[in-house]
Structure 1
């Protein structure tokens, strides 16, 4: 398990000079084979990333994600029109579009071709004015799902350059992958977790949002 910092891409390409995948060379076996990625986080998202040491393990873990047996929990700091309720589920299909040569996800209108079912459980842990700390548990794994759902709800994540106001609201994307529970090849389930980094905690506290212990 790796605790990925915000700003580090998981994979290379598109002009990215350094990625987590590149750094995995340091953990290569004597035969030169390095650990394999089995899932991804957006570049700006910090937190839990797991990798597999063998090809069979990578196939097993990939199947766990594909079958939605991996339980993922995120924290996000948002601003805007906050829900009146304390918890609920965002149940809006998403569709991928190209804008300015970059892919992004939009809430799909009824009957929109290419719309994919997307579910994100949410709970507000703290709120102060127009700001809130959300705990989010995506049940599906669409690209940018949490970011698009929060924008659709009227409260985009701070620091989100694609779905929010970017650096005008925060120096980093205020989204953190807090934990991941997943089945392992030996038949057990394991919970991997990473505490929010200092940059995340400080920003939340400046806004009057207390993080849970």
Structure 2
């Protein structure tokens, strides 16, 4: 039998923060708009992760909601949790069966992809460098190769950049970031994979990747679509770069 997790003590500010992130809740699920800079799980240092902040929603003596998937620390957007064990099991199986549909938006440089709509079907492999993990493109017959497929669509282009919509059909770590870098269109602010730190004179403070929508089977039946609008910093950059 699994030992129950010990609740994390949260400050009033942390509780207020995580409660302010809620975009949808029902008896089965809780969805939040994760800000950039907050680790989903397994963060290092003194700052609590989103997984730990979920203790703010735990009823006395009960478990906290469980994360169904993760977002990179510097990626913002919709993240889904299950409030009950049956919901967690149902959603976990749906995720494994690829019944989730994820939609992202990203600012890329130096221009729109060619063609403007397409797919990137390139295997990836994990590579460790010290305490850091990277993903690299590799040949299909590489012993560590993992199949990876991403779809993209150009929404708007401007001098030196473009706004694209992205749909990963597989869920590899850093998949969208590596695939876009592979085609010579890295995501702005992506230091790890060659993204620009300034575009048209505008500084890029972070990775410009946002999980804007998530569609999935609901434990009670049917499909549910949840959306999180672009955060203020990314929306402001989109406007300044003429990508509206």
TM-score range, shorter chain: over 0.9
Q: Normalising by structure 1, what TM-score? A: 0.93
Query: Taking CA–CA contacts closer than 8 Å with sequence separation of 6 or more, which of the two structures ends up with the larger relative contact order?
Result: 1
Instruction: Decide whether the 8 Å contact of 1:126 with 1:132 is kept in 2.
Output: yes
Over aligned residue pairs, what C-alpha RMSD do you find?
1.5
Name whichever of 196-205 and 5-14 sits farther off: 5-14
- Decide whether aligned partners of structure 1 residues 81 and 204 sit closer, same or farther in structure 2, where only a CA change above 3 A counts: closer
Return the alpha-carbon distance in structure 2 between the equivalents of residues 202 and 104 of structure 1: 29
Equivalence for 2:243: 209
Equivalence for 1:143: 173
**1:50 is aligned to 2:80:** yes
Following superposition, the deviation at residue 30 of structure 1 comes to 2.3
Aligned residue for 1:134, secondary structure, equals strand
Following superposition, the deviation at residue 165 of structure 1 comes to 4.0
Following superposition, the deviation at residue 16 of structure 1 comes to 5.6
Return the alpha-carbon distance in structure 2 between the equivalents of residues 73 and 134 of structure 1: 10
Instruction: Decide whether the 8 Å contact of 2:111 with 2:157 is kept in 1.
Output: no
Structure 2 residue runs of 5 or longer lacking an equivalent are 1-30
Equivalent pairs counted in the alignment come to 210
Return the alpha-carbon distance in structure 1 between the equivalents of residues 187 and 167 of structure 2: 15
Equivalence for 1:180: 214
Following superposition, the deviation at residue 167 of structure 1 comes to 4.7
Aligned residue for 1:162, secondary structure, equals helix
Following superposition, the deviation at residue 101 of structure 1 comes to 2.9
Instruction: Decide whether the 8 Å contact of 1:81 with 1:153 is kept in 2.
Output: no
Structure 1 residue runs of 5 or longer lacking an equivalent are none
- Decide whether aligned partners of structure 1 residues 153 and 101 sit closer, same or farther in structure 2, where only a CA change above 3 A counts: same
Written as runs of structure 1 = structure 2, the 5 A alignment for 1:6-155 is: 6-15=36-45, 17-80=47-110, 82-155=112-185
Return the alpha-carbon distance in structure 2 between the equivalents of residues 143 and 166 of structure 1: 21
Following superposition, the deviation at residue 166 of structure 1 comes to 6.6
Return the alpha-carbon distance in structure 1 between the equivalents of residues 77 and 43 of structure 2: 21
- Decide whether aligned partners of structure 1 residues 143 and 16 sit closer, same or farther in structure 2, where only a CA change above 3 A counts: farther
Equivalence for 1:197: 231
Once the two structures are superposed, residues 129-155 of structure 1 have per-residue CA deviations (whole angstroms, 9 ceiling, x without a partner) of 230101001101011110010110101
Instruction: Decide whether the 8 Å contact of 2:151 with 2:169 is kept in 1.
Output: yes
Q: Normalising by structure 2, what TM-score? A: 0.82
* Rg (Cα) greater in structure: 2
Aligned residue for 1:51, secondary structure, equals strand
Once the two structures are superposed, residues 10-53 of structure 1 have per-residue CA deviations (whole angstroms, 9 ceiling, x without a partner) of 11343362211111111001223110111000011111001000
Aligned residue for 1:132, secondary structure, equals strand
